[in-house]
């Protein structure tokens, strides 16, 4: 996994959010605009510039008791405003294992 | 079975209460994640995609029924009702909560199981042949020596902060079921001309980013010198190992860079100073450990009981027996492999209910003992042949009698992108699709022994390099691609597979594997020529041609 420090150098090219795992149980969580965490991707604060992303990440990392391994990850924001995971890894984290799905032909 | 002594029990219990306190301080914020990470890793706790992952050691792959029931209990109580058996005789739980981990550890401690040294830069679980102590022709039970090494390396201060992780494997049979050539130190138990027990010592094997087959560093080390010799190796490693670069830190890189001769000289020099020290084992040390291993009171049984003769008329029973039942050193008994590779299922997973049922069957038919092998299957090591027909029915009922042991659907796979935070690509769904493609038993049987190994990234937890067919997940522009190798093997003739061509996308992997298998069926010179032998005879070219001609 890319460390948050390295990520500070990364410019974001897509709308992004900050995600982590909840310390006490490991659940996947997303940083919200209200400076809290939610287990729903739809509650995630969306950032569109590197500065915003850096700020959101810094604030997330500061919550060392609540969350572990925070990092910036891409999302897709649909025309309807619906937020979807930006890659397969985040899809699996947000929607769960793929292994009950049938394999695409 | 091995009976732990008081010291072991005290150590494990102390460790649990220590960890309970650490978790409490972590959850209260007294410890930061930076401070806590090393502590959790020392107790087998990783962070994965969805949750923490908890790895528990099953030393040399031997479990009592009581221990297996406790593993089931942990799966049910603290996880989602299943566990994953790994290639290194561990079990992993995928959904465990940090806040409940101390309770899980404490429940495991009740039956002498722990997670110490299942992660981190120390000596890991010492693995062994899953048929140790029961395989015909075995020189002696290698677990005696595994246990000696386990005791010696556990929490050894000098070996708790090595440059990188360190893995031992031991076998005492000619046919290597413990994959000793791909371990940091591999030990093959042998006898010298005077009939004394010792070891051929191999060093520097390993997979991952830079795979190497282990090399023989000393053809015979006397049993009494095992610990001093191993200590000499570890000291040389500790001194020269590359701590500055994680990719170069394993002993295999050091052995490769120094060359085996120079490395051996360094070790020899170190060893001369250690060899007649307190590390020398005397007869009593060894016998003390030996006496803690108990063996079943086998009965005198016929080679071919009536029950077996009758059952032989049932083709389904025969199919399973031929595939999953192996000779035992004692007449009238068998070793039975339980396939954790059902068609369409994730390789190596077992549910809590299955584990409980297997524990009950072990009590009834295998003197309460279960084994875990590196192929991610289980075994019952002492089954009376007369019991095979009833046992088969019972195993079939709980879904662990798929007659595919060592066949194309007996796939080794790592957790891959479905669970693992280091993954490039998924492993499990590839395995599942392949088991569906080759679900027809007659086809699988016609193909014969063929090991497919799948890893979701270059760390090679699924041993892809040494699969007869190896599948490695890579990432290309955010998409899952897979590199395919053929001709690898993990046994006494261990070899790395050769890349067959450009990586293929997720959706094409199963087709490509089918093409490779079809090419093999067309190319083999007789039905008994195994896939690996055909590849060895012809090289990869004819396979490449057939697979890529139409792509
Ligand atoms: C899901 C969490 C896991 C993580 C984070 C993980 C991580 C790693 C890493 C980083 C390595 C490479 C080490 C190196 O080359 O120095 C490695 C090697 C290995 N892992 Fe895992 N692993 C995981 C699961 C597993 C599982 C499920 C298995 C068994 C199926 C396994 C078996 C192995 C083996 C046998 C190697 C040895 C390859 C070698 O170095 O020779 N691991 N693992
Ligand atoms: S091989 Fe890679 S993807 Fe698979 S378990 Fe190991 S680290 Fe994870």
B13 vs B1, more confident? B13
Q: Provide the domain count of chain B.
A: 4
- Do B516 and B435 share a domain, yes or no? yes
Look up the CATH number of the domain holding residue B30.
3.90.480.20
B117 lies in a domain?
no
Pair (B506, B431) in one structural domain: yes
**Does position B163 have pLDDT exceeding 60, yes or no?**
yes
Closest chain A CA to residue B31: A65
Nearest CA in chain A to B95: A26
- Is the beta carbon of B416 within 6 A of some atom in ligand 2? yes
Q: Residue B37: give the domain boundaries.
A: 6-109
- Give the distance from residue A74's alpha carbon to the nearest chain B alpha carbon, in angstroms: 12
The DSSP secondary structure of B222-288, one letter per residue, reads EGGGHHHHHHHHHHHHHHHS-TT-GGG-SHHHHHHHH-HHHHHHHHHHHHHHHTTSTTPPPHHHHHH
Which residue, by CA, sits nearest to atom 31 of ligand 1?
B461
pLDDT above 50 (res A104): no
Read off the pTM.
0.91
Q: With pLDDT > 90 as the criterion, what percentage of chain B qualifies?
A: 70
Best-predicted range by mean pLDDT (A8-12, A24-28, B42-46): A24-28
Kindly state if the Cβ of B460 falls inside 6 Å of ligand 2.
yes
CATH number of the domain enclosing B480: 3.30.413.10
Looking at the complex, does the CB of residue B419 fall below 8 Å from at least one CB of chain A? yes
Assign B330 to helix, strand or coil: coil
**Both B379 and B462 in a single domain?**
no
Residue B361 domain-assigned (yes or no): yes
What pLDDT, on the 0 to 100 scale, is given for residue B33? Answer: 95
- Residue pLDDT, tens place only, B517-541: 999 999 999 999 999 999 999 999 9
A25, A98, A105 ranked by CB distance to B429: nearest? A98
User: Can you give the pLDDT at residue A10?
Assistant: 61
B151 shares its domain with B278: yes
Q: Is residue B41 part of a domain?
A: yes
Inter-chain residue contact B421 with A1, CB threshold 8 Å: yes
User: What stretch of H or E contains A74?
Assistant: strand A67-77
Confidence class for position B155, pLDDT limits 50, 70, 90? low
Cα distance between the two ends of chain A: 30
Which residues of A fall within a CB distance of 8 Å from B422? Answer: 1
Inspect the interface and report whether the beta carbons of A26 and B52 lie closer than 8 Å.
yes
What would the mean pLDDT of B125-142 be, rounded to a whole number? 89
- Split at pLDDT 50, 70, 90, the class of A8 is low
Distances (CA, A) of B21 to B40, B77, B99, B392, B397: 12, 21, 11, 46, 43
B182: in domain = yes
Show me where the domains of chain A are located: 7-76
pLDDT tens track for B465-474: 999 999 999 9
Residues B428 and B540 reside in one and the same domain: yes
Question: What mean pLDDT is predicted for residues B340-344?
Answer: 94
Mean pLDDT over residues A54-83, rounded?
Answer: 95
Residues B161, B242, single domain; the answer is yes
Q: Are residues B93 and B164 in the same domain?
A: no
- Name the pLDDT band for B194 (thresholds 50, 70, 90): very high
| Separation between Cα atoms, residue B103 and residue A38, nearest integer Å | 27
- Residue B333's pLDDT band (boundaries 50, 70, 90)? very high
Query: Per-residue pLDDT tens for B426-442?
Result: 999 999 999 999 999 99
Of all ligands present, the nearest one to the C-alpha of B250 is: 1
Cβ–Cβ < 8 Å for B275, B225: yes
> Left, alpha or beta for B484 (phi > 0: left; psi -120 to 50: alpha)?
beta
* Beta-carbon separation of A88 and B480 below 8 A: yes
B443-461: pLDDT as tens digits: 999 999 999 999 999 999 9
Assess contact for A97 and A42: CB atoms under 8 A: no
pLDDT, position A9 = 67
| Residues B488, B386 share a domain | no
Within-domain flag for B114:
no
Average pLDDT on B251-278 reads: 90
pLDDT confidence tier of residue A103, bands split at 50, 70 and 90: very low
Q: What is the CATH number of the domain that holds B392?
A: 3.30.70.3340
Place of tokens 């016998």: B287
| pLDDT in the model for residue A2 | 47
Rounded to the nearest angstrom, the minimum Cα separation between A46 and chain B is 21
Whether the CB of B457 sits within 6 Å of ligand 2: yes
Rounded distance between C-alpha atoms, residue B367 and residue B383, angstroms: 8
In percent, the amount of chain B with pLDDT more than 70 equals 98
Does B158 share its domain with B263?
yes
Q: Write down the residue that tokens 């042998």 correspond to.
A: B190
Atom of ligand 1 nearest to the CA of B249: 16
CB atoms A65 and B29 under 8 Å: yes
Residue B256 and residue B163 share a domain: yes
CB distance from B433 to chain A under 8 Å? yes
Domain assignment of residue B303, yes or no:
no
Among B22, B28, B30, B33, the strongest candidate for a mutation testing the A interface, having the largest count of A CBs within 10 A, is: B33
Q: What is the 3-state secondary structure (H, E, C) of B428-485?
A: HHHHHHHHHHCCCHHHHHHHCCCCEEEECCCCCCCCHHHCCEEEEEEEECCEEEEEEE
CB-defined contacts A:B, below 8 A:
77
> Last residue of some domain: B291, B306, B328?
B291
pLDDT in tens, B69-120: 999 999 999 999 999 998 888 899 999 999 999 999 999 999 988 877 777 6
**Last residue of one domain, picked from the residues B397, B420, B451:** B397
Cα B399 from Cα B435, distance rounded (Å): 15
Instruction: Say whether A64 and B29 touch across the interface (CB within 8 A).
Output: yes
Q: Which of A24, A69, A98 sits opposite B98 (nearest CB)?
A: A24
B390 assigned to some structural domain: yes
What is the overall mean pLDDT for chain B? 92
Same domain, B245 and B364: no
Angle value at C-alpha B65, between B174 and B87, nearest 5 degrees: 45
């Amino acid at each position: 996994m890319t460390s948050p420090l390295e990520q500070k150098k990364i410019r974001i090219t897509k709308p992004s959010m900050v995600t982590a795992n909840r310390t006490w149980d490991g659940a996947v969580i997303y940083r919200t605009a209200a400076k809290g965490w939610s287990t729903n991707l739809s509650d995630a604060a969306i950032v569109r510039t590197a500065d915003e992303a850096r700020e959101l990440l810094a604030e997330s990392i500061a919550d060392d008791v609540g969350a572990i391994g925070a990092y910036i990850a891409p999302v897709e924001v649909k025309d309807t405003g619906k937020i979807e995971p930006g890659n397969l890894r985040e899809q699996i984290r947000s929607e769960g294992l793929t292994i009950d799905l049938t394999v695409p032909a | 079975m091995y009976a732990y002594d008081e010291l072991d029990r005290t150590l494990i219990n102390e460790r649990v209460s220590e960890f309970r306190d650490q978790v409490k301080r972590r959850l209260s914020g007294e410890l930061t994640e930076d401070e806590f990470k090393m502590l959790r890793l020392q107790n087998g706790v990783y962070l994965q995609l969805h949750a923490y992952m908890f790895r528990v050691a099953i030393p040399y792959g031997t479990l009592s029924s009581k221990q297996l029931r406790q593993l089931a209990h942990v799966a049910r109580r603290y996880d989602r009702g299943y566990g994953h058996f790994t290639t290194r005789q561990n079990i992993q739980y995928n959904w465990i909560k940090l806040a409940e981990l101390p309770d899980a550890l404490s429940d495991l401690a009740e039956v002498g199981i722990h997670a110490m040294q299942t992660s981190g830069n120390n000596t890991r679980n010492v693995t062994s042949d899953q048929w140790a102590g029961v395989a015909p022709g075995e020189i002696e039970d290698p677990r005696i020596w595994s246990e000696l090494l386990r005791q010696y390396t556990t929490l050894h201060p000098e070996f708790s902060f090595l440059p990188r992780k360190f893995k031992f494997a031991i076998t005492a049979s000619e046919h290597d079921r413990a994959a000793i050539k791909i371990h940091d130190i591999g030990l093959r138990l042998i006898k010298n001309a005077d009939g004394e027990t010792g070891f051929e010592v191999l060093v520097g094997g390993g997979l991952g980013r830079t795979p190497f087959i282990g090399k023989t560093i000393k053809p015979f080390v006397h049993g009494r010198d095992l610990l001093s010799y191993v200590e000499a190796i570890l000291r040389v490693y500790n001194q020269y190992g590359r701590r500055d670069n994680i990719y170069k830190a394993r002993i295999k890189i050091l052995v490769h860079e120094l060359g085996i001769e120079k490395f051996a000289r360094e070790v020899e020099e170190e060893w001369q100073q250690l060899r007649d020290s307190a590390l020398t084992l005397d007869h009593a040390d060894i016998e003390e450990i030996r006496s803690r291993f108990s063996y079943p009171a086998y009965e005198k049984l016929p080679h071919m009981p009536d029950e077996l003769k009758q059952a032989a008329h049932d083709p389904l029973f025969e199919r399973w027996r031929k595939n999953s039942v192996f000779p035992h050193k004692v007449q009238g008994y068998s070793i039975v492999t339980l396939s954790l590779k059902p068609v369409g299922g994730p390789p190596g997973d077992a549910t809590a209910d299955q584990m409980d049922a297997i524990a009950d069957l072990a009590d009834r038919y295998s003197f309460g003992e279960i084994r875990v092998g590196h192929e991610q299957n289980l075994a019952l090591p002492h089954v009376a042949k007369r019991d095979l027909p009833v046992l088969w029915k019972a195993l079939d009922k709980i879904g662990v009698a798929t007659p595919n042991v060592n066949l194309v659907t007996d796939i080794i796979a790592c957790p891959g992108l479905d669970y693992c935070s280091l993954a490039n690509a998924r492993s499990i769904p590839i395995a599942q699709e392949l088991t569906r493609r080759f679900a027809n038993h007659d086809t699988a049987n016609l193909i014969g022994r063929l090991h497919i190994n799948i890893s979701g990234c270059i760390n090679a937890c699924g041993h892809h390099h040494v699969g007869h067919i190896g599948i490695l997940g890579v990432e290309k522009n955010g998409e899952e691609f897979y590199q395919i190798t053929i001709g690898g093997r993990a046994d006494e003739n261990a070899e790395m597979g050769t890349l067959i061509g450009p990586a293929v996308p997720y959706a094409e992997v199963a087709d490509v594997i089918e093409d490779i298998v079809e090419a093999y069926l067309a190319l083999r010179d007789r039905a008994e020529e195994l896939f690996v032998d055909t590849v060895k005879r012809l090289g990869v070219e004819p396979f490449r041609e057939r697979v890529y001609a139409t792509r």
